[in-house]
Amino acid sequence: MNTQSYPSRLLENAVSEFSTLPGIGQKTALRLVLHLLRQPEGDVSRFTQTLTRLRGEIKQCRHCHNLSDTEICAICADPARDHGTVCVVENIRDVMSIENTMQFRGVYHVLGGVISPMDGIGPADLTIQDLETKAASGDVREIILALSTTMEGDTTNFYIYRKIKDFPISITALARGLAVGDELEYTDQVTLGRSILNRTPFEESLGKN
């Protein structure tokens, strides 16, 4: 779409702001902006105020680096959680995914990304130093490495492993294998191979369903 044909500079500016969002092209941006224009003015000001407050007031939890409204997030502040078990994840979406399983009662450590030389992200850009400090404190019994099973995730796992392996901590990783509902025929070779190597006693799998 030719940008010169916008009937209004205000409209064009709003569309170009929306187009900076990931996955939003100019046509979608125009649709969103025209939608906002059809809403009552109060709705739009609530929309912008919510964003402004979010950007200005949101904090990073001092313990786990998760996003939080308070200095310490609700998970880290919960005395019922096991603070000796730390699950290392890439970002806050992963925290939300694991919380939704309701299978984990420990606490988290959000790295803020994975080591990715291609994207210019090195260990210093992540919260790995802070994780080392935690490991050295003696308060942690287990660190669960729960990064994505990509090359960058594996690299980061290994980097962290090297940094903390000398502390008296058990270091574990998420189980890899068939997803629940997977058909063998359509499972990739590497996953299938691993799930054969790491086969578990059948009675264990019974208890988990």
DSSP reduced 3-state for 116: strand
Q: Which amino acid is at 88?
A: V
110 in Cβ contact with 91 (< 8 Å):
yes
What are the residues whose beta carbons fall under 8 Å from the beta carbon of 152, sequence distance 6 or more? 114, 115, 116
What is the phi-psi region of residue 188: left when phi exceeds 0, alpha when psi lies from -120 to 50, beta otherwise? beta
Does residue number 88 form part of the binding site for a copy of itself (CB under 8 A)?
A: no
Binds a copy of itself (CB under 8 A): choice among 25, 82, 84, 93: 93
Query: d(Cα 6, Cα 116) in Å, to the nearest integer?
Result: 40
Only one of the segments 46-54, 125-133, 138-146, 157-165 lies at the binding site for a copy of itself (rule: CB under 8 A); that segment is 46-54
Binds a copy of itself (CB under 8 A): choice among 25, 50, 150, 182: 50
Give me the sign of the Cα torsion angle 12, 17, 18, 19. positive
Binds a copy of itself (CB under 8 A): choice among 67, 72, 121, 171: 67
Only one of the segments 7-15, 129-137, 184-192, 196-204 lies at the binding site for a copy of itself (rule: CB under 8 A); that segment is 7-15
What are the residues whose beta carbons fall under 8 Å from the beta carbon of 31, sequence distance 6 or more? none
Only one of the segments 23-31, 127-135, 158-166, 170-178 lies at the binding site for a copy of itself (rule: CB under 8 A); that segment is 23-31
Query: d(Cα 85, Cα 141) in Å, to the nearest integer?
Result: 6
Tokens for 71, please give them: 């200095």
Binds a copy of itself (CB under 8 A): choice among 25, 62, 82, 96: 96
Q: How far is the CB of 19 from a copy of itself (least distance, A)?
A: 11
Does residue number 157 form part of the binding site for a copy of itself (CB under 8 A)?
A: no
Q: How far is the CB of 90 from a copy of itself (least distance, A)?
A: 12
18 versus 195: smaller Cβ distance to a copy of itself = 18
Only one of the segments 15-23, 78-86, 114-122, 128-136 lies at the binding site for a copy of itself (rule: CB under 8 A); that segment is 15-23
113 in Cβ contact with 55 (< 8 Å):
no
Q: Which among 4, 171, 201 has a CA at the least distance from the CA of 85?
A: 171
Contacts to a copy of itself by CB under 8 A:
1-2, 5-11, 13-14, 17, 20-24, 28, 30-37, 41, 43-58, 61, 66-69, 73-75, 91-93, 95-96, 99-100
